[in-house]
Every structure is written in C-alpha cells, then in structure tokens.
Structure 1
Amino acid sequence: MKRRFAGATGIAVAIAVAVGCVEVDEVRAQDAKDVSPLYGVAVPDGYRKWELVAPALEDDPLNELRAVVGNTVAMEAYRSGTLPFPDGTVLVKLAWKRAQSAEFGTATVPGAATTVQVMVKDSGRYAATGGWGFGRFIDGKPVDEAQHETCFACHDARVQGHDYVFTRYAP
C-alpha cells in the first residue's frame, strides 16, 4: 500500500559529538531533490554535532557499524524515559561498512559510508505512520520511493512497544 504525505556498533564507535538541536521544520529541505519521497524528510544540518544515543554492530548481510545521534528533544526524552517520543524528536543513524584497521591490526573501524537514515517525529504530519517521517540517504541524496515504502512497515512489525524506535539509549 502506498502512503503519500503532504509536505515536504561488543564494538565501540568513537564519535565526538556535542549537544545540538534542530527544529523539525529545519529537517525539511526546500530543494525537492534532497528530501525523501513519501515523507519529505531531509538530512538535518549540523547532525554530526548531536549527542550519541547508541552505537550498534549489524551482522551479515549488511556487515555495518552504526551510530545513532539525536537532537536535544530526542536526548531529553531518552534520559527521562519519555514514550512516546515528543514531536520535534529527530534521530539520525549513520552507517559504515566494517573494516579492519590497517593501523591497529585487530581493531574494527568504520570503512566506507553506506547510508544516513533520519526519523522525524511529527504526529500531525505523519499520523498514518505512527507519527514518524523517514528518510534514507546515500551520498546526501534520498534513495528511491520503493525503499522508503519499507521504512514504517519494518518499524511497525518490530518496535511498536517503543514508539517504533529500535535504538535504546546507551548511558
């Protein structure tokens, strides 16, 4: 079923990030080629300075190191145990192929970047998908509509009891 919406790493991953905040409207780009189909979500400016929610290791077939960062709204909700997440929550997952360090032998490190994925909580705009809008990007450009059609179905099938969010806070 197609949905259309109006509007537009145990392995540790060392990520130096600082507290940051972005308004939901800032996540929506003006240039349509830079927003996800179906949801109109863009890669938020400054997200690499946001706080780390948690790292993850994804086994085969993806074989990735991942890190999820969140804006200030997301981090406050995680720390206080607030569910559902409030509107204005933005989560960004960065993913890289796993690679063996040429410098440190046995260490697994991030290799080539694979995707940046974004979740934006806006209960009004995304009511049909549990209040969440999704974006998946490769090299800063959104992937095709067919891939975006799988976002909510995957979250809906696996994490309804945690407001459709897979990542748990790593204190």
Structure 2
Amino acid sequence: MKFMHLAVLSGAVAAVALTFTGAAMGDSADGDASPIYGVKIPEGYRKWALIAPAQEAAPLDELRAVVGNDLAVKAYQDSALPFPEGTVLVKLAWKHVQSPEFEPASIPGAATTVQVMVKDSSKYAATGGWGFGRFINGKAVDQAQHETCFACHQARVQNHDFVFTRYAP
C-alpha cells in the first residue's frame, strides 16, 4: 500500500509540475531576488527533470517536487558529491489535498512556495557554496526566513553537500 501511495504521489506531482505555468508558481526569473543571497527563480525551471517527490507532514501538509538543471541531474545520476558549480535545485510545493476522484490518492492543491538552491562556491563561500531563495507568488519572502536556510541545511545535511533531497530512481 505504501508503494502504491508513493507511486500515485509521484505521478500526481509530476503531472501537475508539467501542467502548472510559471506564473501560477510565481516565475521571477526577471523579477524579485531573495534577500541575503540575490537568488532568483530560474527561467525555464518548469521544464527541468524531476529529482524526487516528497510529502511534508503537518503542520505544512504539503506535496513537493524537486527539479534540477542538467548539472544537478548528472550529479545525482553519477552520485557525485560535492555538487558541481552551477547546480541549481528548485523545490515546488503545494497544499496536500485528497483526490475527489480516487480517495486513496493525494493531489496537489494550491501552490505554496518555490525554493531555490544555487551552487556557486566563490559567491556563497560562507554558506557551504550554496545560495538560497524562497518565493511565494513570485516574490521573495522576508530576510528573517532566509537567515534560517543555511543553518538548517548545515545542522542536518552537511555530509551531503548541504542538500536534503536524494535522487528518486
């Protein structure tokens, strides 16, 4: 049953990730940059390969999908750590909703955030080589929320080049 739930979740997240437009999730490639890091939502990220789906329990109760640029995908496929310069990971998140057509299935509801990690060791040397961005409706969230990004990654996944997401084969 757990495998079926994950398969349905993966399919639903992937399908919705392909059908949402950048505007719906707040594409800000030419707009808002995150405080502290200056990270923007990368242009064309909605066409990137799926790295892994995830489900966040309460209190957020979200479905998530992490996509990556070509450098990220190759690094995951090759099990290469640290990630190469220029790696970009984007996490999309939606409210977790029960499917009205198929009760055991979960589907994405309203979009909640887009989160971005950019690998540039010279620019972000103080934060393990990563710059962070968190966006709601295409606008970067406040500086206080960005101040917690690296501390959380450093405390929990320092041994995986500060990246939580593992590749879903």
Instruction: Identify the TM-score tier after normalising by the shorter chain.
Output: 0.7 to 0.9
Identity of aligned residues (%): 70
2:10 is the counterpart of 1:13: yes
Which residue of 2 is the match for residue 104 of structure 1? 102
The alpha carbon displacement at 1:47 in A equals: 0.5
Q: TM-score, normalised by structure 2?
A: 0.85
**How many residues end up aligned between the 2 structures?**
152
- Name the SS for the 1:159 alignment partner: helix
Instruction: Decide whether the 8 Å contact of 1:13 with 1:65 is kept in 2.
Output: no
Q: Which amino acid aligns with 1:87?
A: E
Name stretches of at least 5 consecutive residues in structure 1 with no aligned partner: 1-9, 19-27
Q: Does 1:149 align with 2:122?
A: no
User: Structure 2: where are the runs of 5+ without partners?
Assistant: 19-27
2:19 counterpart of 1:37? no
Q: What residue identity is the alignment partner of 1:58?
A: E
Q: How does 1:67-86 map to 2 (within 5 A)?
A: 67-86=65-84
Deviation sequence 1:81-132 (CA, Å, 0-9, x none) = 1100010000000011100112223311001111000000000000000000
Per the alignment, in what secondary structure is the counterpart of residue 166 of structure 1?
coil
Runs of 4+ in structure 1 over 6 Å off: none
Q: CA deviation at 1:29?
A: 5.2
TM-score calculated relative to the size of structure 1: 0.84
SS at match of 2:144: helix
Q: Which structure has more helix as a fraction of its residues?
A: 2
Q: 2:29–2:43: 8 Å Cα contact kept in structure 1?
A: no
